[in-house]
Amino acid sequence: MNLKIGIFGGSGYGGSELLRLLLQHPHAEIDFVTANEHAGEAVSEVHRNLLGLTDLKFIKPPDFENLKDLDCVFFALPHGQAMEIAPKLPANIKVVDLSGDFRLSNPAVFAEHYGREHAAMGLRSQFVYGLTETNREEIKSARCVANPGCFATATLLGLAPLTTNNLLTCRVIVDAKTGSSGSGAKSAANTHHPQRSNSFYAYKPFTHQHVPEIEQELSRIGEWSNELVFITHSLPVSRGIFASIYTETKTEISSADARAIFAGFYRDSFFVRLVDSSPDINWVKTTNFCDIGFAARGRQLVVFTAIDNLVKGAAGQAVQNMNLMFGLDEKIGLTLIGSNP
C-alpha cells in the first residue's frame, strides 16, 4: 500500500516532525506540504535536519478540487484554521487534525477555552478522538481523527486504567511540566531562550485548553465524577512532558498492584512502557513511547508519565492513527529508538 499524503502547515515543530516521520514511512508518499510564509522555499532550508532527505518545497494551499487523488491529509496548523479547511476537502480523503479544532463536542466549551466560536461544529461528529490506546477500534474505522493534545495524552494514559476500573475516589491532581517546543516554533517573550533556559514557572492554572478534552475522554472511557485539578509548568528543556498524577484509590494499593492493572490495560499497546519508580523524559525524547511509573502508600497512588510532546504528544500519535485508519500495523514508521544520553 502506498498512501498519497498532504500536509497543511509544515513550517512549525509539529509539521517538521510529521515530515521527519513520514519521509521514512514505507507506505507514505508526501504529495505536498504547505506553509504560507515559506511558500517556494525548500523544506530542507526551513528544517535543516531534513537536508539531503527530500526535494519537497513548501507551497501555498492548493485548490481543494484537485486533491481527490490524495488518501490522507494532516493538519498541523494553529488552532482555528483546520475548521476552515476541513469542510472543503473531498469526502474520500481521510483527515488527521493535530490542532484542537475538533476535539471538543460542546461548542460553548470550545469557545471558552479557545477564544473563538467554532465555524464547523456540524462536522465535529465525524471526528473520532485519537488517543490510540483508548480508542483503537473506533480509529480503525474513522475517516476523520482529532489528534489529542500533548498534555491530554500524558494525563489520559496515566488515568485511563484507573478510571476504566472505577478505582478512584476524591480529587485528582495533575502536576504537568513541558519543554519549550510546546509553545511552537515562533519565539515569544516567555519562550525566548534567555528567558526560559534557567527559569521555572506555572502557566494557565485551571484554564488550560486541554482540561475539557481530558474530562470529556475520561467520561467516555469510564466512571469519571472526580474533581480534576490540572496545573501546567514550563520546563527549561526543549522537548518532553512529565506529569505527576496524584490520586486516591478506593482500597489500599501497592506499586506492584498498580503496575499489574496498567500491564493488563496496555497489554496490546506497544508504545506504553511500564518502568520501575519514575520515568525520565530523556528516555522518551524523539520517540513515540509513553513511559509510566508508580509510587504508592496506602490508598495514595501517584502515577508518573513521560512523553515527547512533539512525537507521542503530536506527530507520532498522528502517524500511529493514520496507520490504523488504513489497516496498517500501528508501529510502522514509528519504532524510533531514543538516544543515551
Q: What is the DSSP-derived secondary structure letter of residue 57?
A: B
pLDDT, one tens digit per residue, over 64-96 is: 888 989 999 999 999 999 999 999 999 999 999
Can you read off the three cell numbers belonging to residue 246? 496524584
Residue 116: is its pLDDT beyond 60? Answer: yes
Q: Which residue has the higher pLDDT, 36 or 102?
A: 102
pLDDT, one tens digit per residue, over 175-200 is: 999 987 765 555 566 666 667 777 88
CB atoms closer than 10 angstroms to residue 139: 22
SS3 state at 81:
coil
72 has catalytic annotation: no
E strands, 94-227, in order? 94-97, 127-129, 144-146, 168-178, 201-203
Taking the C-alpha atoms of residue 185 and residue 86, their distance in angstroms, rounded to an integer, is 24
pLDDT band, very low/low/confident/very high, at 1 (cuts 50, 70, 90): confident
CA–CA distances in Å: residue 59 to residues 7, 37, 142, 177: 10, 9, 28, 35
pLDDT band, very low/low/confident/very high, at 204 (cuts 50, 70, 90): confident
- Active-site residue, from 72, 144, 150, 290: 150
In terms of C-beta distances under 8 Å and separation of at least 24 residues, what long-range contacts does 262-267 make, across chains too? 262/161, 262/292, 262/294, 264/161, 265/160, 265/161, 265/164, 265/165, 266/133, 266/161
Segment among 189-193, 200-204, 334-338 with least mean pLDDT? 189-193
SS3 state at 8:
strand
Handedness of CA 215, 201, 99, 112 (dihedral sign): positive
Can you read off the three cell numbers belonging to residue 77? 496548523
Contact partners, residue 326, CB within 8 Å, separation at least 6: 1, 3, 27, 71, 72, 94
Segment among 20-34, 57-71, 156-170, 282-296 with least mean pLDDT? 57-71
Q: Percent of the chain at pLDDT above 90?
A: 81
Specify the amino acid at residue 190.
N
pLDDT, one tens digit per residue, over 5-61 is: 999 999 999 999 999 999 999 999 999 999 988 999 999 999 999 999 999 999 999
Residue 206: is its pLDDT beyond 90? Answer: no
CB atoms closer than 10 angstroms to residue 259: 17
Mean pLDDT across 277-300: 97
Contact partners, residue 248, CB within 8 Å, separation at least 6: 168, 169, 170, 299, 300, 301
CB atoms closer than 10 angstroms to residue 18: 29
Q: Check: CB of residue 303 under 8 Å from CB of residue 294.
A: yes
CB atoms closer than 10 angstroms to residue 125: 10
Contact partners, residue 137, CB within 8 Å, separation at least 6: none
Q: Which helix (H) or strand (E) holds 245?
A: strand 241-249
Taking the C-alpha atoms of residue 302 and residue 176, their distance in angstroms, rounded to an integer, is 13
Can you read off the three cell numbers belonging to residue 267? 497489554
Mean pLDDT across 140-167: 97
Taking the C-alpha atoms of residue 321 and residue 235, their distance in angstroms, rounded to an integer, is 28
Task: State residue 186's pLDDT score.
Answer: 59
